[in-house]
Amino acid sequence: MVMKHGVGVDNIDLDAATSRGIVVANAPGTNCTAVAELAISLMLSLLRHICPANASTRSGKWERFMGRELGALTVGIVGTGHIGSAVAERLHGFGTSLIGVDVVQDDQLVSAYGMRYVSLHELLRTADLVTLHAPLIPETVGLIGDDELVLMKPSALLVNCARGELVDERALHAALAAGRIAGAAVDVFATEPPQDSPLLDFENVLATPHIAAYTHEAMEAMDRMCAETIVKVLIDRETPPNLLNPQVLRDDRT
């Protein structure tokens, strides 16, 4: 058995595991709050220039940084699954206008928070802030590239707390260098740690070391789900819903 202490399984060869009779499971839902809160923290940090204001004050200056309010903006959520939904729920409290993109549309988000589902291109053209919460699958690699970034407003911001490979980092670098977007917050990179990433050269890029899920509460929830899943599968001979290839157990137990 392979038990992922986390949610994303793009670093596990599921087909190879299945072909060898190895069951794979993850811990879905355990980090939703943590990731959603970091995403919104990054949004607020960019909008209110928290990092440069802190650096300026510590250097002895007393500069006034003009920011924007989340409630006055339109936020585009790319991927409205567990984490994207948690982001929408929290943004609704700010009074933010919400638009979303997902292959599966959530009617609850529409009715409860006024989410409006649009195409990716319309989202990019419309949103003041774009936040990524899509899974990394072959269809989403390079989801945000040159063609997509050129659609964004020059005043728009991009936040990525999902997977680094969703964004073409070369294209993002070019967009930032040309001033085609106003800034970005990046918690994930295609190569981690991103020691040679040119994105780190920009003052309007807020970079964090893949910490979105790192809260005491999220880690405890992951620990518990991992332990409980292992016991259910290997000792109790159950098939919990977080198995990613339950056919392995069905084949083994028939």
Q: Please tell me the predicted confidence (pLDDT) of residue 35.
A: 97
Question: Is the Cβ–Cβ distance between 188 and 164 less than 8 Å?
Answer: yes
Report how far residue 163's alpha carbon sits from residue 78's, in angstroms, rounded to the nearest whole number: 12
Provide the whole-model pTM.
0.92
Q: Please tell me the predicted confidence (pLDDT) of residue 146.
A: 97
The answer to whether residue 167 scores a pLDDT higher than 80 is: yes
The catalytic residue positions are 163, 192, 210
Q: pLDDT for 46-101, tens place per residue?
A: 999 999 999 999 999 999 999 999 999 999 999 999 999 999 999 999 999 999 99
Report how far residue 39's alpha carbon sits from residue 208's, in angstroms, rounded to the nearest whole number: 11
CATH of 2-29+215-253, one of 3.10.20.30, 3.40.50.720, 3.10.20.740, 3.90.730.10: 3.40.50.720
- Give the DSSP letter string of 153-190: -TT-EEEE-S-GGGB-HHHHHHHHHTTSSSEEEES--S
Same fold, 2-29+215-253 and 32-207: yes
Q: pLDDT for 3-51, tens place per residue?
A: 999 988 988 999 999 999 999 999 999 999 999 999 999 999 999 999 9
How confident is residue 251, by pLDDT bands cut at 50, 70 and 90?
low
What are the boundaries of each domain within the chain?
2-29+215-253, 32-207
The answer to whether residue 254 scores a pLDDT higher than 70 is: no
The answer to whether residue 182 scores a pLDDT higher than 80 is: yes
Q: What is the mean pLDDT of the chain?
A: 95
Report how far residue 197's alpha carbon sits from residue 229's, in angstroms, rounded to the nearest whole number: 38
How confident is residue 250, by pLDDT bands cut at 50, 70 and 90?
confident
The answer to whether residue 252 scores a pLDDT higher than 70 is: no
Percent of all residues in the chain with a pLDDT value above 70, rounded to a whole number: 98
Q: Please tell me the predicted confidence (pLDDT) of residue 177.
A: 96
Name the CATH architecture for the domain at 32-207. 3-Layer(aba) Sandwich (3.40)
Report how far residue 229's alpha carbon sits from residue 240's, in angstroms, rounded to the nearest whole number: 7
Q: Where are the beta strands (DSSP E) in the chain?
A: 2-3, 24-25, 74-78, 97-101, 116-117, 129-132, 157-160, 183-186, 205-207
